[in-house]
Amino acid sequence: MKIGRGTVVPKLSVTWPHQVEIGKNCKLEQHIYFKYDNPWLPGPSIIIGDTVFIGNGCEFNITEGITVGNDCLIASGCRFIDHDHGININKLMHSQVGTRAAITIGNDVWLGCNVVVLKGAVIGTGAVVAAGAVVTKPIPAYEIWGGVPAKKIGERNTSGFIKKTTS
């Protein structure tokens, strides 16, 4: 496991340590699970930038890859899952290979408590995702999203105020 200078790693679980790279000056709380869900392959596939906060009980369940940019805030209980199971009725679901797509999180992103980010999601720089949201599609930079599935509920501006949108 590659850990940058100034990052302290508390009690956590890791299936394949060589698949995890954590940047400098990160703050990780306890009980984070870095699960690389594939057979042994060269890594890393889970890449965390510099000065990132990851809250208690987060799970990174990855087969393809996840990149988290610099200066991100990931609140407690967030889940990142870049794959699923097949659903063909002619075969048991647990024995089917589903679709897979890497997850990308830009710089300066804030994910509230218990956000779920699913395969292929790209969250743009400066975006905010409200607590409990489920991200299934791309979120543009500086937008605020929430709900299940997540949708745009506002945007950030240079004054720092939330500008609500109408639907």
pLDDT digits (tens, 9 = 90+) for 141-165: 999 999 999 999 999 987 766 666 5
Coil, helix or strand for 19? helix
128 burial (CB, 10 Å; 0-12 / 13-18 / 19+) is: buried
Does the pTM surpass 0.85? The reply is: yes
- Which are the contacts of 41, defined by CB distance < 8 A and separation ≥ 6? 19
Q: Where are the domains of the chain?
A: 2-164
pLDDT greater than 80 at residue 31: yes
Contact between residue 68 and residue 52 where contact means Cβ atoms under 8 Å apart = yes
pLDDT tens digits, one per residue of 49-77: 999 999 999 999 999 999 999 999 999 99
The arithmetic mean of pLDDT across residues 26-44, rounded, is: 91
- The pLDDT, as a whole number, for residue 157 is 83
**In the structure encoding, which two tokens stand for residue 21, read together?**
């790279």
The amino acid present at 1, given as its one-letter code, is M
Backbone angles phi, psi at 17, to 5 degrees: -55, -35
31 as an active site residue: the answer is no
Q: Which of 18, 31, 83, 85 is catalytic?
A: 85
Question: Residue 17 half-sphere exposure, CB side, CA atoms within 13 Å?
Answer: 6
31/158 Cα distance (integer angstroms): 36
State the chain's mean pLDDT as an integer.
93
The arithmetic mean of pLDDT across residues 124-149, rounded, is: 97
44/6 Cα distance (integer angstroms): 20
Domain 2-164 matching CATH 2.130.10.10: the answer reads no
